[in-house]
Structure 1
Amino acid sequence: MKWDTQGKPKKPRIVGIGAQKAGTTWLSQMLSQHPQVWLPPFKEVQFFNYHHVPEHRQWLPWHFKRARQNQEKRYAAKGLPLPPEIDEWLTRITKGEMFTNHWYKQVFAPAPQGTMPCDITPEYSTLPDEGVDQVAAFLPKATFIYIIRHPVDRLVSQLKMNLTRKNRKPRTVEAWMGEIDDPVLYDRGDYATYVPRWQARFDEDRLLILPFGAIAANPGTFMRRVEAHCGLAPHSYSNMAAKVFAANKELSVPPEVRAVIRERLEPQFQFIEASFGPEFAGQIR
């Protein structure tokens, strides 16, 4: 891992803003291989949503606790202790006052000279207007990436993730119907509300919007577009075809429930086609 122990606080130059369950972890794994990019050793810094989406604050301490635990497990699996520079850095960003402007820049301090610090946090896509205003003011040189996934597939993926975390397995159509009433499931994929909010502040040279299906169809071409957008040289990536999170095969949404989800999400499909055209809409899955 590229690491500058004497690095000064700095802002990210590349920001992946979402959407949740739309390939952001895959994108993070690809960009982490690029010699011109530096990502923290955990995904999702969660800075802007901390300030503008108050309900997220209840799980953010868990998020950073898990980040340390994951790093310790990663090195333990290799029979190695946590490197002292990572240990010191994790301590520095998880102790004392967090989520200040200076703290955010401290997160990217280890990025070596000549690399572009990168923050990939899908929760950013759901920021309110004042949150996107803060992003625009605080990151005037950053470029942004927003991946659009098929609304039903995205919601179902999020639902399965939530159910797995809670160890719940709906057994009946009625039980599944109760699960899909959670408004959070629809909020994370409300492209019709959130995409225009970002487009109003960033034009195409700052904000790249890509269809999720393009990752599987041609991951190399997908990354060429990302590189060109971010000002990166072409790079040869490994494991481009690997699936990051395998679907929970024990959870299968009944067709009747999928039909209801599809009906509820019709405005999202209309928005995607009207905004990006039928070719783009055909590549979102």
Structure 2
Amino acid sequence: MNDYSLKNKTVFIGIGAQKAGTSWLNDTLSNYANLITPHIKELHYFDIKWLDYELNTVAIYKGRAKELKQISSNVSDTVQNKSNEFQRKKNKSEFFLEDYLEKYELEKKCERIIALANILSIKNDIDYIRYFYNLGKNKDIIGEITPSYSLLPVEGFMNIKTLIPHAKIIFLMRDPIDRFVSQLKFKRKTRLSSGLGEYDIHINFENKLHDNSFIHRSDYERVILSIEKIFDVQNILILFYEELLFEDTVNEYRKIESYLNLEKKDEQEILSWREKKSNATEEIDIKPELKKMAGKKFKHIYEYIFERFSNVPQKWKDNYREFCV
């Protein structure tokens, strides 16, 4: 593993929470020239290794293999058709490759194929380190963001620390009720887009309050206590979704720049990123009585965060007062 040392790199691992701005963070970090993340945001290495009982591991692999097959087939068919067209031309002096690549986005598709193949080849810890070594050969800062890493047991976080002793953890927290509702909306969005039929949030709301795959993602107390057992305090950055994306974007992003040793971007550029929300879900009004049920479930999380952090976003306070008390 020493042949693939990352000791001279800044390495960060984003661990969630799901529906707390991790896709937006991943997208905005791409604006820094000396930083790189995988072409596919969520590697799912440590969660598949440690949480097989909570994840549909087979579905993750099948989904990536299916996408790889579809893109490869599309590229192959497109190249074959264009080649046949070129052969039929009487005047073959026209050089078509550059226009062709741009028109059919073949370069992007080929990059996606390579990315999928590389990720599917990660079978163990050595492969994981090798992947990042190759990814970041020409960069100073490398990292990945997989929100379900927040579900890892302490042993999973120790695995990260053992592999990358200087790894920097980034954890984004969103108001627990809002995060839970957003996950429900995302569930509905993915079902509809996959042709699996309607998904009524109000009907499923109560059931999901007893579903660990939903509830554990808002258990910020467990996550914070786990990472603090393993990582040094200077290698942990915890931010609030509401402040980073809405209330105080520039100052919060300055914390990220300082933490990762990034160049400072212009304030107006950072502010412009707020308009580029990733994986946004539709607006659906949730009945107050359902939010009160969620408030009862998450009350202890609010109270833990209020005790741990002096400046908690107003949205948290408002939701706690309205739905938890």
Question: Do the aligned partners of residues 35 and 148 (structure 1) sit closer, same or farther apart at CA in structure 2, a change above 3 Å counting?
Answer: same
Structure richer in helix, relative to its length: 2
Stretch deviating more after TM superposition (8-17 or 268-277): 8-17
Question: Do the aligned partners of residues 43 and 284 (structure 1) sit closer, same or farther apart at CA in structure 2, a change above 3 Å counting?
Answer: farther
1:94 counterpart = 2:120:
yes
**Mapping of 1:110-121 within 5 angstroms?**
110-121=135-146
**Mapping of 1:211-250 within 5 angstroms?**
211-215=240-244, 216-236=246-266, 237=269, 239-241=272-274, 242-249=276-283
- Distance in 1 (CA, whole Å) between partners of 2:258 and 2:49 is 31
Q: Which residue number corresponds to residue 180 of structure 2?
A: 155
**Could you tell me how far 1:131 is from its partner in structure 2?**
0.6
Give the secondary structure class of the aligned counterpart of 1:147: strand
Give the secondary structure class of the aligned counterpart of 1:30: helix
**Could you tell me how far 1:41 is from its partner in structure 2?**
0.8
Q: Which residue number corresponds to residue 185 of structure 1?
A: 214
1:30 counterpart = 2:62:
no
Pick from 264, 280, 285 the counterpart of residue 312 of structure 2.
280
Q: Which residue number corresponds to residue 140 of structure 1?
A: 165
Question: Do the aligned partners of residues 190 and 89 (structure 1) sit closer, same or farther apart at CA in structure 2, a change above 3 Å counting?
Answer: closer
The question of whether the paired residues in 2 share the 8 Å contact of 1:35 and 1:115 is answered with: no
Give the alignment's TM-score, normalised by structure 2: 0.74
Deviation per CA, 1:214-235, whole angstroms, max 9, x where unpaired? 1211322221100101122212
The question of whether the paired residues in 2 share the 8 Å contact of 1:211 and 1:283 is answered with: no
Deviation per CA, 1:180-212, whole angstroms, max 9, x where unpaired? 432321111111212111012223310011111
Q: Which residue number corresponds to residue 269 of structure 1?
A: 302
Q: Which residue number corresponds to residue 60 of structure 1?
A: 60
Deviation per CA, 1:51-79, whole angstroms, max 9, x where unpaired? 11013223321453476589889x99953
Give the secondary structure class of the aligned counterpart of 1:13: strand
Give the secondary structure class of the aligned counterpart of 1:18: coil
- What amino acid is aligned across from residue 247 of structure 1 in structure 2? T
Give the alignment's TM-score, normalised by structure 1: 0.84
**Could you tell me how far 1:107 is from its partner in structure 2?**
2.9
Aligned length: 272
**Structure 1 residues not aligned, in runs of 5+:** 1-7
Q: Which residue number corresponds to residue 150 of structure 2?
A: 125
C-alpha RMSD of matched pairs (Å): 2.9
Q: Which residue number corresponds to residue 47 of structure 2?
A: 49
